[in-house]
Amino acid sequence: MNLVFYDLETTGRNPTWDQIIQVAAILVDSNFNEIDRFEGRCRLKPGVIPEPGALIVNNTSVEMLNQVNLSHYELITKIQNTFKKWSPAIFTGFNTIGFDEEFLRKTFFKSLLEPYTTQFNGNKRADVLGMTRSSKFYYPNCLDVGMNEKGNKVFKLEVLTKMNNIIHNAHDAMGDVIATIEIAKILSLKANNIWKSGVNNSNKIEVDNFLIKNDVVCMDEYFFGKFNSYAVTYVCKNQFNYPQCFDLIHDPIDYIDLTMKDLKAKMKLRPKIIRDIKNNKNPILMDASYINTIPAYKAIGLDVLKNRAAIIKNNDDFKNKIQEIFIEEKEEKELSKSQIDIQPEDSLYMGGFPGNDDKSKMLDFYNADWDKKIYISNQFRDQRYKYFAHRLIYEESPQTLPSSDYQEIHKIIAKQVLSTDNEKWNTIPKSYQQLDNLRVKLEEEKDDEKLLFLEDLNDFLFQLQNRYEKS
């Protein structure tokens, strides 16, 4: 199966409220031979206040934000059209599932395009970062990594490329894509079983099948800079349809006869008895032959671990109790969610899939000329899509939007960007504070070039502030 390596540069770290400003992607075959490539950059869209630190990292000037030929919507539609043309494929990159994928999904959602483009229609998704962490654990000599002051391994792409003599134009989208492909080549050569696991588990069906097929499975977790590996056995699915596995470091005899109440209390303790596997986020899973690489489980012995797994597998009552506990938790969370006022931009995972009528209107909206889009936008049944449509018209062709609708959107944006509250999105007051903090740091470092960049950004923010204050 072909692979798509891609990378995004953005105005900040929040996939709901920041925006994509640059994309690069390379389509390769299973042997990493290049088939096609795509890259593009777009202008800043109204209502987005960039984080100064993010712009410094990805070398994006104020001029680049304002004078690029492509609008945001034009770039986003080009991305989706390209990815559809390259499908089916495995979409991957470096930390794409944790970062880039969320940006893509939420951007497509707000642009009235298919949010799950990289997962539907035969597509799968993987992440080279997760493969890299696992490879370094199971095959310590496969590549060199950096170390931080806490003694933890550093898996930043720019560090990995430096340590492994890979030419890398860091924080440029195409530069990051090319570097990621080189890391992937190393993994496929020196940690091939990990690479195969990553490729094979790029779809949740494959993950589920692997867990069912293997009584004892090695899984890993990465939290706060620490990598940990565990031997587990499958129990059931939770409220999010994620597999829940019993950690075989524990003796199941101590738990199988507990009441629901006592078992629920035990599940809240550390070390955990139940471990979560996110089957849609490319987990690296290895079979029982890798037990000997995990000292705590090697000490227990494979025969004992298999026996513990069999006790779990053969006790339906225990598995049912675990599942009921998760059902109860789901009901509690749904009740608390119902009390929260959700903004349209935040509702991708809460509002359900669009109905057939709205899906048809999305296609009509995409194909129509801008002067026809307002008519289509008012036909959406889901008010979120009507709002997104009006906002897209405001951003791309404001002269075609009725005055009342224009003023409504403009006031919403003005209120958001001028807010002095601690909002989820970046605001002009927040950005001024970020500029002040960066200025102090850069003055100490005597970095005149970046200080000049901050002044340009400060002038730009001042202009935006004046525009929205006059609304």
Residues 248 and 166 in one domain: no
CATH of residue 289's domain is 3.30.1520.20
Domain that holds residue 138: 3-197
Q: Could you tell me if residue 349 is inside a domain?
A: no
Q: Could you tell me if residue 375 is inside a domain?
A: yes
Predicted confidence (pLDDT) per residue in 440-455, tens digit: 999 999 999 999 999 9
pLDDT number for residue 151: 87
Predicted confidence (pLDDT) per residue in 457-466, tens digit: 999 999 999 9
Give the CA dihedral 4, 75, 166, 196, nearest 10 degrees: -20
Let me know: does 406 contact 395? Beta carbons within 8 Å.
Answer: no
Q: Could you tell me if residue 136 is inside a domain?
A: yes
Predicted confidence (pLDDT) per residue in 236-288, tens digit: 999 889 999 999 999 999 999 999 999 999 999 999 999 999 999 999 999 99
Residues 159 and 66 in one domain: yes
Residues 259 and 375 in one domain: no
CATH of residue 69's domain is 3.30.420.10
Predicted confidence (pLDDT) per residue in 211-243, tens digit: 999 999 999 999 888 899 999 999 999 988 999
Q: Could you tell me if residue 314 is inside a domain?
A: yes
Q: Could you tell me if residue 346 is inside a domain?
A: no
- pTM over cut 0.75: yes
Residues 168 and 192 in one domain: yes
pLDDT number for residue 67: 85
Residues 100 and 231 in one domain: no
Let me know: does 93 contact 125? Beta carbons within 8 Å.
Answer: no
Residues 443 and 418 in one domain: yes
Q: What is the mean pLDDT of the chain?
A: 95
Q: Could you tell me if residue 162 is inside a domain?
A: yes
Q: What is the mean pLDDT of the segment spanning 139-159?
A: 94
Q: What is the mean pLDDT of the segment spanning 142-171?
A: 94
Let me know: does 256 contact 318? Beta carbons within 8 Å.
Answer: yes
- C-alpha 44/C-alpha 70 separation (Å) is 10
- Asked whether the CA dihedral 317, 323, 327, 328 is positive or negative, the reply is positive
Type of residue numbered 301: G
- C-alpha 106/C-alpha 116 separation (Å) is 9
The answer on pLDDT for 338 being more than 60 is no
Residues 234 and 370 in one domain: no
Q: Could you tell me if residue 27 is inside a domain?
A: yes
Let me know: does 346 contact 388? Beta carbons within 8 Å.
Answer: no
What is each CA distance from 446 to 18, 52, 83, 438, 440, in whole angstroms?
Answer: 30, 18, 43, 12, 10
Beta carbons within 10 angstroms of residue 233's beta carbon:
22
Which residue is listed with tokens 């430096």?
162
Longest CA–CA span in the chain (Å) reads 74
Percentage of the chain exceeding pLDDT 90: 92
pLDDT number for residue 195: 98
Residues 216 and 182 in one domain: no
Residues 189 and 208 in one domain: no
Q: Helix, strand, or coil here: 171?
A: coil
pLDDT band for position 129 (cuts 50, 70, 90): very high
Q: How far from the centroid of its chain's Cα atoms is residue 238's Cα? A: 21
The answer on pLDDT for 334 being more than 70 is no
Phi, psi at residue 59, to the nearest 5°? 55, 50
Predicted confidence (pLDDT) per residue in 33-88, tens digit: 999 999 999 999 999 999 999 999 998 999 999 989 999 999 999 999 999 999 99
Q: What is the mean pLDDT of the segment spanning 119-134?
A: 96
**How many residues does this entry show for the chain?**
471
Predicted confidence (pLDDT) per residue in 414-436, tens digit: 999 999 999 999 999 999 999 99
Query: Structure tokens of 237?
Result: 């699915």
Which among 181, 189, 158, 139 is positioned nearest to 58, based on CA atoms? 158
The answer on pLDDT for 471 being more than 80 is no
Residues 437 and 390 in one domain: yes
The residue from 306, 336, 366 where one domain ends is 336
Q: Could you tell me if residue 344 is inside a domain?
A: no
pLDDT number for residue 28: 98
The answer on pLDDT for 339 being more than 60 is no
The residue from 165, 197, 229 where one domain ends is 197
Number of compact structural domains in the chain: 3
Type of residue numbered 55: L
The residue from 197, 213, 231 where one domain ends is 197
Residues 121 and 58 in one domain: yes
**DSSP strand E in 259-418: where?**
274-276
- C-alpha 221/C-alpha 281 separation (Å) is 12
Residues 213 and 319 in one domain: yes
